[in-house]
Structure 1
Amino acid sequence: MRILIANDDGYLAPGLAALVRACEGLGELDIVAPEQNASGTSNSLTLNRPLSVYTAANGVRYINGTPSDCVHVALTGLLEQRPDLVVSGINQGANMGDDTLYSGTVAAAMEGFLFGIPAIAFSQIQKGWSHLDVASRVARDVIERVLRQTPARSPFLLNVNIPNRADADRLPHAITRLGRRHASEPVIRQISPRGETMYWIGAAGDAREAGEGTDFHATANGKVSVTPLQVDLTDHAAVPDWQGWLSQRGRE
C-alpha cells in the first residue's frame, strides 16, 4: 500500500502533519505539498513557469505551485511508484457546498481521481485547528474502512467534513450531497500606502440550501459529512431541452 498525501494550506500546516499521523502504519507514505498556502486555487495548474521541488528537514517534499501541481507532478514524474490512494488535508475550514468548486484541498484529491486513483479530501468545518488530534482519528477511521472494504465504484472521490469537536471521533457519519451557498459577500476595498485601490475577495455567503441530506445539515447536527463527488459537470437533465432547442433552430 502506497499513500500520497497533499494539502492546500502548505507543507508546514498542522493539518498536513495530522493527516500524516493518521496514515502512519498503513503503508508507504509520500508527502508532496505546496510551499505556500494555496487555498482557493481550485484545480489550477501552473503553466507559465517551471516548478521546483524542495525537500524539508523532515523529508516532506514541497513545490512552489498549487495543490493540483503537487499531485500532478508527483504522479507524472516525481514518484517512482504509483500510489494506491491519494488523501488531501486536513484543511483549516469547511469545504462544503459551492466551496468544493474553489477548494484546493478537494482539487488535490480530484487530481488523483483524474488519474484513476481513489482519493479522499478531509476538512475541519471551522478554522483554528481546534481538536485537530481528534480529526486525525476520524480521518484514520475513514481511510481504514475504505481500505478494508473498497466501494464497488472505484476509483472514487470522497469529500469529508469533520466538526471541530472533542468527540468528533465518536460522531455518526452521514453520506451527504453538496448543499448550496448564497452569493459571496461584496469585495472589500482598501487604499494602499501608494494611493492605489486594492480589493479583497469577500467572505463566502451563508448556506441557502442546507436541508436534510446536505453536508451543511449533517455537520450542523453533529455528524461527520462524507460526500461522494464526481467530475462530470454535464447537466444531464437539461440535455433533452437543449436538443429540442437545437432542432427548433434548424427549422427556422
Structure 2
Amino acid sequence: MRFGLLHTLTTALSLVSPSHAARILMGNDDGFGSGNLREFYRLLKEAGHDVIIVAPVINQSAQGGRSDFTTAANLTAPGQYNIVPAGAPSVGPDPNDSHIWYYNGTPAACTFVALDYVLPRYFPDWNQSPDLFVSGPNFGVNLGPIVFTLTGTLGATYAAVSRSIPGIAFSASNDAIAYTNVTNSSNPATWAASVSVNIVEAFLNGTSEGQSVLPLGYGVNVNIPPLTSDAMPEVVRSRLTGEADTDIAVFNETTKLFKYGNVVPKAAGVNACINGDCNLPGETWVVQGGSISVSIFTIDYDAPDVAYTNSVFAKIDGLTGGGDEGNSSTTYKKRVVGKNGVIPEKLLSGRDNIAR
C-alpha cells in the first residue's frame, strides 16, 4: 500500500488530497445500524478505501473494554432496527451489504471476532491485518481519561491497538439516529462522518510508503464539537487530561436509584499530568471551545521512570530487596510453570476464571 505526501492535522483538512486506498476495519458501540457509522462507512468507500464493519448487533454503549462473547448461537431478539430477525445467527452479514457484519457481543469482542473470524474466513486477502481500525463516530463525545475505561468506542479501539492494528476512536456531539433515517447529506450524522473522513485522510496522507499509520501500541482519540454544516472546525492537538470531568454517584431519594454526575469542582486525580506534553490543552476544554480535539494514547499503562514512581516502589523495598536492581529485567528470572514447562491454565484465565 502506498500513501501520499506528508500532511499534518494542523493544515486545512478540507484541502487534503485523496490518499491511496487503505484497508479499514470499522466498529462502534452504538450498534451496526448507527447513522454515524454507516455514513462514515459510505464516505470512506467513496474515497476509494476497502472497508469492512463488524459492530454490535444492538447498542452496547458504556461497555468499555469488556470482551463479552455471547453464549447463544442465535439471536434471541431482533437486531438493531430489526435489520436481522430473532433466530438469526449471532454473527453474520447485513442482508443488504456483505461488507457490514454484526456480532452479538461487546465492542471489544466485535473487534476480536472481526480479526479472528470474519476476516480470515470471508476476507482472506486481508491477512487479518487491516491498515487501520476506526470506531464510531459515537453519538456523544468521549472526553477525558475516565472514558478510557468506560466507553465501548475506545474499548473497541484499544482492542485493535492491543492486536498491533493502528486505531482511531471518533466521537461526535450529535444525537443518535438510525441509518435509515439519514435521507440527505445535510444532517449531523453526515457532517460528523465527513469530518472523520478528513481526519482519516490526513493520517493516511501523512504516512510514508511502508510505514504503519501509527507507531506500534499507539492509538488516537478524536472528539468532534456540535456541527451546523460540513465545514471543518479547527483541529487542535490535545491530551486526555486537563479540565476533564469524572463521575459521582447521584442517588434519587424518590426512585431509590443512582445515576452519574460530574464532580464539582473538577477532580485533581483525573487531571494529574503524568505522561505526555503537559503544555497541551485538555480535550474537554478544546471541544467546549468549538474545536476538534486529537489526543494520542498508548497501550502501555506503566508509570514513567521518574522520582514519583521510584518513591512508590521504595515502599516495598523490604519485600523486593530494595535498590534500583531489585526485580530489574536483568535480575528477575523466575517464571511460574507447570509440568514440561507449560504455564498453568489458571494463569491464562480471564476475569471470570474461565480459560480463554
TM-score (norm 1): 0.86
Residue in 2 aligned with 1:34? 56
Answer yes or no: is 1:87 the counterpart of 2:87: no
* 1:142 pairs with one of 199, 203, 207: 199
**Identity across aligned pairs (percent)?**
26
Unpaired runs of 5+ residues, structure 1, are 192-196
User: Larger deviation: 70-79 or 16-25?
Assistant: 16-25
Equivalent position amino acid for 1:222 in 2: G
For the structure 1 residues 207 and 29, does the alpha-carbon distance in structure 2 shift closer, same or farther, using more than 3 Å as the test? farther
Q: 1:1-252, aligned counterparts within 5 Å?
A: 1-24=22-45, 25-46=47-68, 49=71, 52-59=90-97, 60-79=100-119, 80=124, 81=126, 82-97=129-144, 98-128=146-176, 131-150=188-207, 154-155=215-216, 156-167=218-229, 169-179=231-241, 180-188=244-252, 199-203=257-261, 205=263, 208=266, 213-236=281-304, 237=306, 238-248=308-318
For the structure 1 residues 244 and 111, does the alpha-carbon distance in structure 2 shift closer, same or farther, using more than 3 Å as the test? same
Distance in 2 between the 1:33 and 1:153 partners?
23
Maintained 8 Å contact 2:247/2:262: yes
Maintained 8 Å contact 1:157/1:229: yes
Maintained 8 Å contact 1:5/1:31: yes
Distance in 2 between the 1:45 and 1:93 partners?
22
Residue in 2 aligned with 1:194? none
Maintained 8 Å contact 1:95/1:125: no
Shift in Å at residue 185 of structure 1? 3.8
Residue in 1 aligned with 2:344? none
Shift in Å at residue 146 of structure 1? 0.6
Distance in 2 between the 1:206 and 1:67 partners?
31
Distance in 2 between the 1:231 and 1:188 partners?
37
Unpaired runs of 5+ residues, structure 2, are 1-21, 74-89, 178-186, 272-278, 322-356
Helix, strand or coil at the partner of 1:186: strand
Distance in 2 between the 1:103 and 1:186 partners?
20
Distance in 1 between the 2:280 and 2:230 partners?
20
CA-based RMSD: 2.7
For the structure 1 residues 106 and 22, does the alpha-carbon distance in structure 2 shift closer, same or farther, using more than 3 Å as the test? farther
Shift in Å at residue 187 of structure 1? 4.4
Shift in Å at residue 22 of structure 1? 3.1
For the structure 1 residues 244 and 102, does the alpha-carbon distance in structure 2 shift closer, same or farther, using more than 3 Å as the test? same
Helix, strand or coil at the partner of 1:37: coil
Maintained 8 Å contact 1:22/1:139: no
Shift in Å at residue 126 of structure 1? 4.8
Equivalent position amino acid for 1:12 in 2: G
User: Larger deviation: 125-134 or 240-249?
Assistant: 125-134
Rg larger in structure: 2
Helix, strand or coil at the partner of 2:231: helix
For the structure 1 residues 152 and 107, does the alpha-carbon distance in structure 2 shift closer, same or farther, using more than 3 Å as the test? closer
Equivalent position amino acid for 2:103 in 1: I
User: Larger deviation: 137-146 or 147-156?
Assistant: 147-156
Q: Deviations over 1:143-190 (max 9, x none)?
A: 101111138852431110001122563211111111331432424577
For the structure 1 residues 66 and 149, does the alpha-carbon distance in structure 2 shift closer, same or farther, using more than 3 Å as the test? same
For the structure 1 residues 169 and 188, does the alpha-carbon distance in structure 2 shift closer, same or farther, using more than 3 Å as the test? farther
Distance in 2 between the 1:99 and 1:91 partners?
12
Alignment length (residue pairs): 245
